[in-house]
Amino acid sequence: DVVMTQSPLSLPVSLGQPASISCRSSRSLATRAGNTYLHWFQQRPGQSPRRLIYKVSNRDSGVPDRFSGSGSGTDFTLTISRVEAEDVGVYYCMQGTHWPPYTFGQGTKLEIK
Amino acid sequence: EVQLVESGGGLVQPGGSLRLSCAASGFTFSNYWMHWVRQVPGQGLVWVSRIYRDGSATDYADSVKGRFTISRDNAKNTLYLQMNSLRVEDTAVYYCVRDANGEWGDSWGQGTLVTVSS
């Protein structure tokens, strides 16, 4: 199984400051066809997860442009350019290249400092 | 508007059975792979099972293989998860999730809580 490792697991950030979450996979997530199925999800307190970014860097409809994704191979990053209060929650990376099983990172809890 | 609405959760004793349902609307259900994902309260997300568009192929996490069965009724736009031989460690919120040809997880249901306890 592909292991997804996120860091940090806890991320206190001041309002208006940038934030960055790292996600590393135990094997490359690139396919021979050139796709990389690495996605990012946000779970606000008491809510279902919501996808923010798909295939490394594609922002979902309605997601603020302060969220961006980057990376390749085994190393990926979710960046929030300026944290807002509504960004509080847990962020998960997830790989859909090598399945089954699909695997998630442990989650990174973002809180306002 | 895409909607996924789970139901069927509840309290069940160890060794018991439960069937979850996920009613889909707002999209052509038969065009999508569908998944179940679970989350122990306060913990992370864990993939459980997947079913192909026409139900012809399924996959399971090792932890549920042989006990859980995923199925779908495309005429009723509904996804199911039959859970047998339930264990305390199956206690979780269960989400159904849409999969658009690898662009996984663009829609999630609100989740249904399954509690396995004596």
Report the relative pairing of strands A67-72 and B18-25 from DSSP bridges: unpaired
Secondary element (H or E) of residue A80: strand A75-80
pLDDT of residue B14: 98
Q: How many residues does chain B have?
A: 118
Assigned token pair, B12: 């069940």
Reported confidence tier of residue B100, pLDDT bands at 50, 70, 90:
confident
In this prediction, residues B91-113 reach a mean pLDDT of 94
The nearest alpha carbon in chain B to A56 belongs to: B103
Dump pLDDT digits (tens) for A54-91. 999 999 999 999 999 999 999 999 999 999 999 999 99
Secondary element (H or E) of residue B115: strand B112-116
The nearest alpha carbon in chain A to B64 belongs to: A101
A54–B105 CB contact, under 8 Å = yes
Backbone angle region of B96, left / alpha / beta, with phi > 0 → left and psi within -120 to 50 → alpha? beta
B45–A92 CB contact, under 8 Å = yes
B59–A49 CB contact, under 8 Å = no
Report the relative pairing of strands A89-95 and A38-43 from DSSP bridges: antiparallel
The nearest alpha carbon in chain B to A36 belongs to: B102
pLDDT of residue B43: 97
Assess whether pLDDT exceeds 80 at residue B102.
Answer: no
Assess whether pLDDT exceeds 90 at residue B101.
Answer: no
| Contact status, residue B56 vs residue B33, Cβ threshold 8 Å | no
DSSP B62: T
Burial of A10 (0-12, 13-18, 19+ CB in 10 A): exposed
| Among B44, B62, B105, beta carbon nearest to A106 | B44
- Please tell me the distance from the alpha carbon of residue A5 to that of residue A8, in angstroms, as a whole number: 9
Q: Inform me whether the C-beta atom of residue A95 falls under 8 Å from chain B C-beta atoms.
A: no
Does the bond joining A100 to the residue before it have cis omega, within 30 degrees of 0?
A: yes
| Contact status, residue A104 vs residue A1, Cβ threshold 8 Å | no
Report the relative pairing of strands A10-13 and A108-112 from DSSP bridges: parallel
| CB-based contacts of A74-77 (< 8 A; 24+ apart in sequence) | A74/A24, A74/A25, A74/A26, A74/A27, A74/A28, A74/A29, A75/A22, A75/A23, A75/A24, A76/A22, A76/A23, A76/A24, A76/A25, A76/A29, A76/A38, A77/A20, A77/A21, A77/A22, A77/A23
Which 13-72 residues of chain A touch chain B by CB within 8 A? 35, 37, 39, 41, 43, 48-51, 54-55, 60
Tell me the nearest-neighbour CA distance from A12 into chain B, angstroms.
Answer: 18
Q: Inform me whether the C-beta atom of residue B106 falls under 8 Å from chain A C-beta atoms.
A: yes
pLDDT of residue B2: 95
pLDDT of residue B85: 98
DSSP A62: T
Q: Count chain A–chain B contacts defined by CB atoms under 8 A.
A: 61
Tell me the nearest-neighbour CA distance from A84 into chain B, angstroms.
Answer: 23
Dump pLDDT digits (tens) for A10-38. 999 999 999 999 999 999 999 999 999 99
A92–B46 CB contact, under 8 Å = no
